Every structure is written in C-alpha cells, then in structure tokens.
Amino acid sequence: MAKICSNQHALLSPYARKLSDGQNQKLYSACLEILERTGVVLYEEEAVDLLNEAGAEVTEGNHVRIPPGMVEKAFSTVPKNVALFDQNGKRTMLVGGYRSYFGTGSDCPYIIDHKTGERRFAVLQDIIDGMTVCDALEHIDFVMGMFLPSDVPQDKLDRYEMEAMLNYTTKPIVYVAPEFSGCKDAVEMAEIVAGGEDKLRYKPFAACYINVTTGLRHNQDALQKLLYLSEKGLPFSYVPSAQGGVTAPITIAGTMAVNYAGVLAGLVISQLKREGAPFIIPGWGGNMLDMTSTIQPFADPEKRGQAIDFAHFMGLPTFSLGGCSESKVVDQQAAAEAALTLFTDAMFGGNLIHDLGYLESGLTGSLPQVAICNEIISWLEAFMKETEINDETLALDLIDEVGPDGQYLDTDHTLKHFRERWYPDLFDRNNYNGWKVKGEKDLGQRAADKIDEILKSYKPKVLPEKIADAVHEVVTREY
C-alpha cells in the first residue's frame, strides 16, 4: 500500500537565534562602514601592498581603508566549510553550518592538580596527560595545548606543546604560536607527521588560532601567519581581540562592529593572497572588561549567541567558546557555567567550540573539569537528537497488546530500544544507599577518579620513532 504524505515538516533538532536578519544586515553594514570610513592599521608591508594593489586607500604608510566591494569579492571565493581530519587521514569534522564540535583551550599557566587539589604552575607532563585524557574521552573532538609548560625553554614552549599534541593524540589539533616563527615550525612538524606539504594541505589535521591585537590594529605576527597559512591553503581562525570599554565601545553592538570589521579585513587579505584559502571566524565578539575587577570574563551571558548568528548570516565557519568558568575550583559554579556555555553554543550552532576545562577566566585548567564537560556534551548530544515519530517508536500494536493493566519490562520492544536512551557515566542516578555504598563521592571526586582511571589504563597511539625524532629536531632546533 502506498503511504504518501504531503506537507510534513521535520525539525531535526532544537536551535536558537538571537539576531534577526535585519539586525545582522545592520551589523554587517556597520562593519563595512568602519572599514571604508575609519579603516584599519596594518603592521605588515605585504598585507598593505596587497590591499593597495587591489584598490584600497592607503595613507600614512599603513592606514588602510577598504571599500565594500573588496569585502563582497572575498565572500565569493572563501570556502563556506572547512574539513579537518585526524592524523590517520579520516575526515572527522566538517566545520561550518550548524555542526558543533568540542575541544579544550590553550595556554593556561596554572593547573589544579587532580590528585592534591593544589593550584600550581603547569609542566609539560600536564600537557601529555591532558592529551591522553582527551584522546580517551569520546566527546572531545579536537585538542588545543591546554597549558603553558613552565619547565621547558620559554622561547620554545609552543613547539613543545605542538610536539605533545602530535605525539599523544590522533585527534585534530588547533595550535597557538605567539610568534610567526612558531607557526612555521608547527606547520613543519605537522607536515612531517602527514608525510609532506601536499598531504597536509589535502587532509589538514591542524589549524592555527591567530590572535590579533584589536579589530582596527593588526599586529605583524598575526598578519604574517595569515599570509603564510593562506598561501599554503591551510586552515586558521583569525580572531581580533576587541575589549568593550577599552579597545571598543562598551556596548555589545559596538564591540562586535569593531571586532568583525577586523575579521572582514583579515578575510579580504587572505583571499587576495590566495583565493579559496580556508578562513574561520570567531563565534564570540562582544567581550568586555569587567569594570568591578578588570577581568575579562569568559562565561558572561550577554555576548553569547549573536556572534554565531552573525557568522551564520555571513555563511562562514566559526571558532566558538564554551565549557569555561570564572570559578577558581571545580565546584558548582564551574559545572553550571560550563553547562550553560556549552548549551548556548550548541543551540546556536557554533562550530569549533573550545575552552573546555577552563577555570579562573582562562588562567587555570583542570582535567576533571574536562571530564565533566565531556559528560555535559554527552547529555547535549542526546538532547539535540531528532525525535523519531514513526510506527516503530509509537508502538501502537504493542500498546494495544499489553493493554491498560500490563507492563513492558519483558517485551522484545523494550529489549530492542532501551539502550537508545541516555545513560550517564559521571552524573549520579543511584538511590541514596547505592550512592553511599560507592563512597558518597560528589561529581568533582568522581571526575578525578575518571582521570586517574584513564591515565593508568589508556595508552594513546604515539608517533613512530623515526617521525617522532624528526618532529623533536624541529622543537630543539637552534636559530
């Protein structure tokens, strides 16, 4: 029998919006006006020359005003999605659209030791342990360096971070290099692991996170990284750091306008250097300075959502931010802020959602907090799933067979489907007596036990000795 039904609508998952199309258009127009009217200052001659040759107005040597047409042309060549692979050549992330992936952050000088509870300076072993934990946790999709190792030469710490990421996980990497030379070395190490320059370009497993001074002032190292990676066709995120009340207006709209004017300037330069160069934009843009503490908060609510909305409006992939907290310890605040920030970014459709495990506004990291974030993401994955309404799931024949007085525990239907429901790993569902029998542990203690379990029993796949030696030569090379 034919079963043809018209006018059916499937809402595959929950989603959210914060800005209307009209608001997005007004914000975009404001960015274009800033670029043409106010302009940006660029501290890299090649970037200035590229824009000058393309028709931008250059004054005072490096003050550049970019006409709207150059931005529109850049949109015609930039990819709308960026594929990232693991080190085995498997595509694991298609960055763009409303697809969300989750990873740690980078560059925390401190760690809360999960064994002692002590806040101390991080060392290289903490990064190795962090990569091992991330490789083992199912819902961590990509990694960043997590910590700043205090026990290695400080002019090479980014090289040691990259080496640890390459050695102790096969998951995609987002790396940070304070200086351009570190970016080049990170690419060289990745090319060694990939088996050559072309192989890394065709199946990239590493993307650079480029920090830019502000939306209107672009430092030399940031521009050199952008030009180098664009020429190579390798992915990167270009993230100006406009602070509301300091380097941008205090309002969210004003901060975003300054920030994304800088993003669009970077986009134009990247496409002038190489049409089709992959380009990932920030999924946050309303940062502000907390006027009561002079701290830049990570988990504040007002800036969440609209930047991702704006990125979707422009059709570009995002580097987003969640799983973080202002708390100094793994406590109720840390869990609440991690859950709220992950939930909002997933609902809005942020793409590369980083900073899982961040505490103290990005100064401290915690491996148990990463495990808690992994559990939250597991919950979110179940929440975001499509609800199947069909003959099998409605089970009307079974309902009629069991009747008003029956039960479903021993039916084949229950046996077939009960594993489809979500079951926690760290979150406790036991009764009170069962919880007491298991040691009366809170979530933080259970997460710390999980870290111990992973570090004792899980062995990540490490690089072959010859490749590992070649990577280490780059790390220790003298200039």
Q: Are residues 176 and 226 in the same domain?
A: yes
Task: Among 401, 420, 439, identify where a domain stops.
Answer: 420
Residue 259 lies in a domain: yes
- Number of domains into which the chain is organized: 2
CA atoms within 13 A on the CB side of 112: 25
What contacts 436, CB < 8 A, 6 or more positions away? none
Q: Are residues 138 and 209 in the same domain?
A: yes
Q: Are residues 321 and 403 in the same domain?
A: no
The pLDDT score that the predictor gives to residue 12 is: 66
Q: Are residues 404 and 346 in the same domain?
A: no
What contacts 372, CB < 8 A, 6 or more positions away? 330, 334, 335, 338, 426, 443, 444, 447
Q: Are residues 355 and 404 in the same domain?
A: no
pLDDT in tens, the chain (479 residues): 444 444 545 556 788 899 999 999 999 999 999 999 999 999 999 999 999 999 999 999 999 999 999 999 999 999 999 999 999 999 999 999 999 999 999 999 999 999 999 999 999 999 999 999 999 999 999 999 999 999 999 999 999 999 999 999 999 999 999 999 999 999 999 999 999 999 999 999 999 999 999 999 999 999 999 999 999 999 999 999 888 889 889 999 999 999 999 999 999 999 999 999 999 999 988 788 788 888 888 899 988 999 999 999 999 999 999 999 999 999 999 999 999 999 999 999 999 999 999 999 999 999 999 999 999 999 999 999 888 999 999 999 999 999 999 999 999 999 999 999 999 999 999 999 999 999 999 999 999 999 999 999 999 999 999 999 999 999 999 87
Q: Structure pTM?
A: 0.94
The pLDDT score that the predictor gives to residue 295 is: 84
55: left (phi over 0), alpha (psi -120 to 50) or beta: left
Q: Are residues 275 and 414 in the same domain?
A: no
Cβ atoms within 10 Å, residue 396: 8
| Rounded-to-10 torsion of CA 82, 87, 89, 95 | -20
279: left (phi over 0), alpha (psi -120 to 50) or beta: beta
Q: How far apart are alpha carbons 106 and 475 in whole angstroms?
A: 18
Q: What angle do CA 466, 135, 469 make, to 5 degrees?
A: 15
Task: Among 340, 359, 384, identify where a domain stops.
Answer: 384
Q: Are residues 327 and 405 in the same domain?
A: no
Residue 148 lies in a domain: yes
Residue 432 lies in a domain: no
Residue 12 lies in a domain: no
Q: Are residues 284 and 402 in the same domain?
A: no
Find the domain containing 407 and state its range: 391-420
The pLDDT score that the predictor gives to residue 247 is: 87
Q: Are residues 364 and 404 in the same domain?
A: no
Q: Are residues 380 and 268 in the same domain?
A: yes
Residue 455 lies in a domain: no
Read off the CATH number of the domain in which 270 is found: 3.20.20.480
Question: Which amino acid appears at position 132 of this protein?
Answer: T
DSSP string, 264-294: HHHHHHHHHHSTT---BEES----B--TTT-
Q: Rg of the chain over CA atoms, in angstroms?
A: 24
Q: Are residues 338 and 404 in the same domain?
A: no
Strand 217-218 relative to strand 40-42: parallel, antiparallel, unpaired? parallel
Residue 461 lies in a domain: no
Residue 300 lies in a domain: yes
Residue 6 lies in a domain: no
The pLDDT score that the predictor gives to residue 5 is: 46
Q: Are residues 196 and 277 in the same domain?
A: yes
The pLDDT score that the predictor gives to residue 245 is: 86
